[in-house]
Chains A and B, each alone.
Chain A
């Protein structure tokens, strides 16, 4: 069982917006700014999409945005495109003995 909880799947139609949640505790998501999101397209390596809760690395589309409230982080993708179909993972620093943890992943299907 993953330390961070994500929905197993979400779906949306092209042009719509979707939000993926990532729920943790005060020991991880709620306690630190070190929350990130990764996109993994089928058969590819993961790609960093968001860091420091809401910052985008260079080259990441501004259709991707993120936020955090208490112990839950959220990733929003607006103007859905077919190329957004992928697995999305949240990650956080944690005060536990294993300092970095991932969520279980959410499969995004673009209908």
Chain B
């Protein structure tokens, strides 16, 4: 059965750092684009970043460019999101999502999310 499980969320002070992980199972992890999508409390969805199966191609939203880094370890079937210089507006549930087929544009399977709270 396909599964993605996020971890690493928590409370962090403004300006701090946090690394999220997404452990995948039940599919050929290295064959798929993986993405992070976030949702601020009571708000809508916001795409954050996507990474090719090989890890060679990355895309970032303007709102996180230069502060967040997406990466993956295909030997561990794990996706990461390194978040630096965190701001209050980064507070959100962060979802890990597997692409639908080979297309970058569709988030075909989502984890349950991990909550990041940026507050002093």
Contact = CB atoms under 8 A, between A and B. Distances in A.
Contacts of B110: 45-47
Interface string A2-32: 1000000000000000000000000000000
B89 to A, nearest CB: 14
B45 A102 contact: yes
B11 interface: no
Interface in B58-112: 59, 61-63, 95, 100, 103, 105-112
Given A98-B47, A98-B62, A99-B59, 6 more contacts: A34-B105, A38-B107, A45-B112, A46-B37, A46-B95, A102-B45
Contact of B45 (A34, A46, A98): A46
Interface residues of A, number: 24
Contacts of A105: 44-45
A32 to B, nearest CB: 8
Contact of A36 (B59, B63, B106, B111): B106
A104 B44 CA distance: 5
B107 to A, nearest CB: 6
A102 to B, nearest CB: 4
Interface of A: 2, 34, 36, 38, 40, 44-48, 51, 57, 89, 91, 93, 97-105
B111 A45 contact: yes
A51 B62 contact: no
B100 A2 contact: no
Interface of B: 37, 44-47, 50, 59, 61-63, 95, 100, 103, 105-113
Given A48-B100, A51-B100, A57-B100, A89 B44 contact: yes
A99 B61 CA distance: 7
A89 B45 CA distance: 8
A104 B112 CA distance: 20
A36 to B, nearest CB: 5
Nearest to B109: A48
Contact of A100 (B47, B111, B113): B47
Contacts of B105: 34, 36, 51, 91, 93, 100
